[in-house]
Structure 1
Amino acid sequence: MNIKKIILPLLVIAVGIGVGKFLIATGPEAEKQPSEARPVIVEAQPLKLRDYQVTVNASGIVQAQTQTNLVAEVSGKVLEISADFQEGGYFDKNATLLKLDASNYTNAITIAEGDLAQKQLTLQEQQAQAKLAQRDWNLLDGNASRPQSDLAARRPHIAAAQAAINAADAKLQQEKLNLNRTRITAPYRGRVQEKRVDVGQYVTPGTVLGVIYATDAVEVHLPLSLAQYALLNIPEAFRNKAADAALMPKVSFRPTAGNLQDTWQGQVVRSSAALDEKSRQMTVIARIDNPYEAREGVSAPLRIGQYVSAAIQGKLFNNVYVLPSSAVRQGKEILLLQDGKVVVQPIELVWSTESEMVVRSEADLNDKRVITTPLPQATDGQAVQVAGEKKPQAKPADAPQEPKP
């Protein structure tokens, strides 16, 4: 009885398992639905063939093109200083900047004039004595045809008197020159950088009275790497051939502090004669004309020693494509978008900045769409979808095929 109770349930279970396996084995198979890969969402833009002007960025310090130490040429006390002769003051050419005490030099002129008059009188006396000597010679000798000796004719005396006059006249001119030098005038139109003396100070020859610079132009020295320099197409100057100034690159300057909207236009005028031994850089010198004239777009004049950034006009690349840097992969290829699929396109990188890549291609890519979203692992044929656009409809398998041309 107990054995039957155990065997019967086991038998029922075994029969149920067998029937289930039979039904599974003989039942219809469920149709498998293929899983469709979701396309990657990307950004894209059309390609346009164009010309691209390279801009080489650099920076430098504003320097005076013409700078002068005003030096006293004579001694004297400073009696007067022009109101323009102050640090930052502007002045015109030939303007009087300082005056020194001139009393010693006016007195010296008076003395020199008296000495010159005395020397002229001496010459007249020697000439009169020479005439008397000639008359006496003629009366005593009776032979006027025989010449007198130089000494008898007082020729050395006359020559010495004439030389004394010349020396006295030179002395007078020197004293007049010294008098003029008590008035220190501006050699050009400019601005005062430093004033080193004041009224009442006694100065001697060689004393630096101040530092001035011309305001017609300033220069900016711009260090460049050799790669940057090669992009500028600067005409070289030779000993027997000057560089063509018309071909020198244009430069746009901006301050690095203050009103960053201020701009000045300049031009490269020359390059340095040697590379920097430590940095191996080449320096180009750009000039800005009339940087101290008030004009629209400038809120303050340039200052000597001011740090400025420069955008130098470089080479012109023709027939290139300009892309965001995210569109170029490994510097040698881009991803085109065609019928919702990726097409890998080789390119040649010719120039790059932090945000742009300038490329060339042997294929005509004009008006084709380039993917600007970085896809480092994308391959040919990968499905993608442009953000905001509908997914392209796939053609059904039984759709009639278009006749081949």
Structure 2
Amino acid sequence: MKRVNDYLKSSNKVVLSKKVAPVLVLMASSMLAFGLMATGPELEVKPVKKILPVVRIKTVEPSRETLLVYSEGVLSPSAESTLVPEVDGRVVWVNPNFKAGGYFSEGEELFRIDGLDYRSEYENARARLDKALVEFEFSESEFNRSKVLNKKNLISASSFDDIFRRFHMSSAEAKLARLTLEQAERNLSRTIIKAPYSGRVRSEKVEFGQFVRRGDMVAEIYADQVIKVRLPVPNRQMAFLGDPGVAGGFTESKSLSDPKSKQAKGLPVVNFSVEYAGRLYQWQGRLVRHEAELDEQSRMIYGIAEMTRNELPANLPMGLFVKAEIEGRSMENLVRLHRGAIRHGSEVVVVDKNSRLRVRPVTVLRHQGDESIISSGLNKGDKVCVSPVTIVVEGMQVETLDDGENPLEMVSDVISEREASEPRMSERKVSVASEDLM
């Protein structure tokens, strides 16, 4: 009986210890957690900083701008001629330079036609003139003597009329002989073909001993002292080149071949460039006039730019395709912006003094390359957004970055600022008394 009682007592103790142990562990854990929370650091509550979008801006600085008009054309001579002999004959001499590509000077002999027959005609006409002059002088003296006799009634009327008739006939024959001599002299001079100006030979079809006829085309030549380029200008860009009718402007017809026009000022400058034989050549010319009519198909008007041979940087051939940049009018208070800063063709986004976006209408004078020229709508000091902002909300606040500033520097500053604002846990030692839980 005693053993049974001892066994029951020991069984009750085991059951009691199994029920109490979890409760004690839970109480110890709660006390430890409460101690850690009571002795832990207090976090500093700071307001969350709003992250703003970053845009690149450009500060407006109005300036004086020269409007440029871009065009292209072909180098061509200012004068071209087709040589045609005015008399028939056989070619007896040809200038060695009278070949395709050859140079010649004004008044230089190019080739000669046999002039023996024309010289004979000249001498014959001269002899006829001498004979006619002798007859005229004799008839004139006889007529003067007959007038004196007629006044004294010493000559009959019929004789006087006959002398008067012979006088007029000899006078007419003398005039005819003089005209015949002049024609023979011209024909003789036409046997020598001379250059009408200084230039080059484009093509020739004449050889020594060849018989040429009057009116046959024997050569093509052109003047090379003044070179011209025919430049197409769009109708809407004509206003950039000057006001019509203004002296010295684009519409006043001039030519560099005229000595007086060389001294004229105010002609638009044309900057030419071309790549030829592996080298880039650049030079300047002048826009001297424009053609009278607008091209019906292209709706362009053609301007004529000229330059002298000495202004060319090299012996460039005619027919070379060149690019041209025409310097037009100069205007004040113009603003240059990147073309991407223009929205909907006539709007820009401006950042105000509170760093908020504002949409502002502007007047775009023209687009020039990848830039747009603004004539009105912006003031000095305005900050224009040049970043490609997809959605623009009026009054939206932004962070600004000056155009040309390195964006990595700004990102580094923002990261440093955010790291400095984050709270840090202070190091503290938390001691917890351990107790023997049983």
TM-score range, shorter chain: 0.7 to 0.9
Matches of 1:284 and 1:103, distance apart in 2: 50
Matched residue, 2:258: none
Contact 2:57/2:400, CA 8 A, preserved across alignment? no
Deviation of 1:122 (Å):
4.2
Contact 1:150/1:156, CA 8 A, preserved across alignment? no
Q: Find 1:300's aligned residue among 296, 315, 339.
A: 315
2:305 partner letter:
A
Matched residue, 1:262: 281
Q: Find 1:160's aligned residue among 146, 158, 169.
A: 169
Does residue 227 (structure 1) correspond to residue 221 (structure 2)? The answer is no
Query: Cα 1:299–1:44, aligned 2, differ >3 Å: closer, same or farther?
Result: farther
Report the secondary structure of 1:278's partner residue. coil
Contact 1:352/1:358, CA 8 A, preserved across alignment? yes
- When structure 1 is superposed on structure 2, of 41-50 and 159-168 the one drifting more is 41-50
2:288 partner letter:
V
Matched residue, 1:381: 397
Deviations 1:30-72 (A, max 9, x none): 9999876655555444432212211011112233222222221
1:313 partner letter:
E
Matches of 2:94 and 2:50, distance apart in 1: 87
Count of residues in correspondence between the two structures = 359
Query: Cα 1:257–1:324, aligned 2, differ >3 Å: closer, same or farther?
Result: farther
Matches of 2:205 and 2:384, distance apart in 1: 65
Query: Cα 1:126–1:310, aligned 2, differ >3 Å: closer, same or farther?
Result: same
Matched residue, 2:433: none
Matches of 1:220 and 1:294, distance apart in 2: 14
Matched residue, 2:337: 323
Matches of 1:237 and 1:382, distance apart in 2: 50
Query: Cα 1:86–1:155, aligned 2, differ >3 Å: closer, same or farther?
Result: same
Matched residue, 1:199: 208
Deviations 1:246-282 (A, max 9, x none): 4442222222655663223222222222222222222
Does residue 106 (structure 1) correspond to residue 106 (structure 2)? The answer is no
Deviation of 1:150 (Å):
5.0
Matches of 2:161 and 2:392, distance apart in 1: 118
Does residue 92 (structure 1) correspond to residue 102 (structure 2)? The answer is no
Matches of 1:294 and 1:250, distance apart in 2: 13
Matched residue, 1:282: 301
Matched residue, 2:428: none
Contact 1:91/1:189, CA 8 A, preserved across alignment? yes
Query: Cα 1:354–1:35, aligned 2, differ >3 Å: closer, same or farther?
Result: farther
Deviation of 1:304 (Å):
3.1
Q: Find 1:116's aligned residue among 115, 120, 129.
A: 129
Deviations 1:141-176 (A, max 9, x none): 9x6456643556522123222322322222122212
Instruction: Provide the TM-score with structure 2 as the length reference.
Output: 0.69
Query: Cα 1:148–1:309, aligned 2, differ >3 Å: closer, same or farther?
Result: same
Matches of 1:375 and 1:42, distance apart in 2: 8
Query: Cα 1:231–1:334, aligned 2, differ >3 Å: closer, same or farther?
Result: same
Contact 1:96/1:184, CA 8 A, preserved across alignment? yes
Deviations 1:216-239 (A, max 9, x none): 32222222222111222243389x
Matched residue, 2:269: 250
Contact 2:84/2:218, CA 8 A, preserved across alignment? yes
1:225 partner letter:
P
Matches of 2:233 and 2:75, distance apart in 1: 16
Question: What residue ranges of structure 1 are gaps of 5+ in the alignment?
Answer: 1-22, 397-405
Matched residue, 1:310: 324
Matched residue, 1:62: 75
Contact 2:107/2:197, CA 8 A, preserved across alignment? yes
Report the secondary structure of 1:251's partner residue. strand
Contact 1:249/1:268, CA 8 A, preserved across alignment? yes
1:55 partner letter:
L
Query: Cα 1:120–1:54, aligned 2, differ >3 Å: closer, same or farther?
Result: closer
Higher gyration radius (CA): 2
Query: Cα 1:46–1:388, aligned 2, differ >3 Å: closer, same or farther?
Result: farther
Identity of aligned residues (%): 24
Deviations 1:10-42 (A, max 9, x none): xxxxxxxxxxxxx9xxx99x9999876655555
Contact 1:256/1:307, CA 8 A, preserved across alignment? no
Query: Cα 1:254–1:150, aligned 2, differ >3 Å: closer, same or farther?
Result: farther
Deviation of 1:345 (Å):
4.7
Does residue 359 (structure 1) correspond to residue 374 (structure 2)? The answer is yes
More helix, by proportion: 2
Deviation of 1:347 (Å):
4.5
Deviation of 1:111 (Å):
2.2
Deviation of 1:183 (Å):
0.8
Contact 1:120/1:165, CA 8 A, preserved across alignment? yes
Matches of 2:323 and 2:386, distance apart in 1: 30
Matches of 2:97 and 2:121, distance apart in 1: 31
Matches of 2:299 and 2:87, distance apart in 1: 46
Deviation of 1:192 (Å):
2.0
Deviation of 1:75 (Å):
0.9
